[in-house]
Amino acid sequence: MVDESRPKQLGAYRVLSLIGKGGMARVYRCQHVETGEIAAVKVLYLAEQADPNTLTLFEREIRAMQQLRHPYIVSLRDYHLSAQLAYIVMPFFESSVADRLMVRLYSPREAAQTLTHLAHALDYAHSLGYIHCDLKPSNLMLDAKEQLYLADFGLAKSIGRRNPEQFAFGTPPYMAPELADGAAADIRTDVYALGVLLCELLSGHRPFEAERTTDYFYLHRRALPPAPSQLNAVPAVLDKAILSALSKAPAERPQSAGELAQHFRNAVATLPDKDQRWNAPHIERPHIVLKPVKGGSGILRELNEQPTLMRRPDQLSLSTTEHRAAPPSPARRTRRTQNAVIAVLLTGLAAILLLITFLITR
């Protein structure tokens, strides 16, 4: 079936195929009509009813890419910006860290190298006043040699600038707790996302899983993150560095991406060589009892009673005053049945003994 909405050409680039699409734009694999060079072209949706913030974000991404010139950051090749058409031209990459995670998890040594390169790119961006605000595997591109490149500065913010749109931007599983309160993004915001990313690279799982954005906000703010070693066969010596990045209070996290990378490299260096090179297998997410940051939480208690591997996010929206007793687990029901049977047998035995005693004494 032919995609009628796909443009045939964008400036000097012939459109070959659709790579991906999201809420704001589509990305096409294109070829320069003169040089034959393959590139990725991100085209913004420009409908009459489009959100005006969309074009603002696109312009912000162009400005950021013009200023950020670093060997580990995706470069800007060309762009076009008008009321009728807006697109940016970037190098084409065959895969991303998200694609790699589908095939194989990262060993501690691979994760340390990835984090080191990413920290170089982030420290550079931070030094120019940019916070990425959307760090995740699909925004980490890989070339044929698996060299990493940081992409998508569409949500990037200036350090210390509050969000004028009055709502949090980013991808919920990776968003720092303070963003849910409307706090200004700063360097520690990206450090938190790096902690989530490290956990995912090593274990194949993010610290928290949910379906709704509000549920993620609740978990990031109120629940203690599980250690990576609880999620998969990750060396426990790596937990401390990762959990430090996931601290609820920004002041308790490493104060830069480079600082986190150094802590993590030091932890990896304590492992035997074979453990540094070992990749954990893909496994289903284990059931982990989440603990609240402070005091008890009816929401977490009810959530933890769920027998499923994946937490049911609809339970997170319940207030503590609406807390209901969770249904008994299958094991608990079995024990109750066994106790009932034993009680009946003992009662019957006692009745028989009384009958025998009565007959003897007659």
Which CA distances in Å does 322 have to 141, 277, 299, 313, 316? 45, 48, 9, 16, 11
CA dist., res. 280 & res. 105, Å (int): 6
Transcribe 35-51 into DSSP letters: T--EEEEEEE---TT--
SS3 162: coil
How far the first Cα of the chain sits from its last, in Å, is 96
Contacts by 5-13, CB closer than 8 A, 24 or more apart: 7/43, 9/33, 10/41, 10/43, 10/80, 10/85, 10/87, 11/78, 11/80, 11/87, 11/89, 12/78, 13/39, 13/41, 13/89
Is 134 tagged catalytic? yes
Q: Are 247 and 253 in contact (CB under 8 A)?
A: yes
Distance of CA 218 to the CA centre of its chain: 15
- Tokens in use for 198? 């490290």
Instruction: Tell me how far apart the alpha carbons of residues 211 and 195 are, in angstroms, rounded to a whole number.
Output: 20
Catalytic residue, candidates 3, 123, 134, 190: 134
Which residues are designated catalytic? Answer: 134
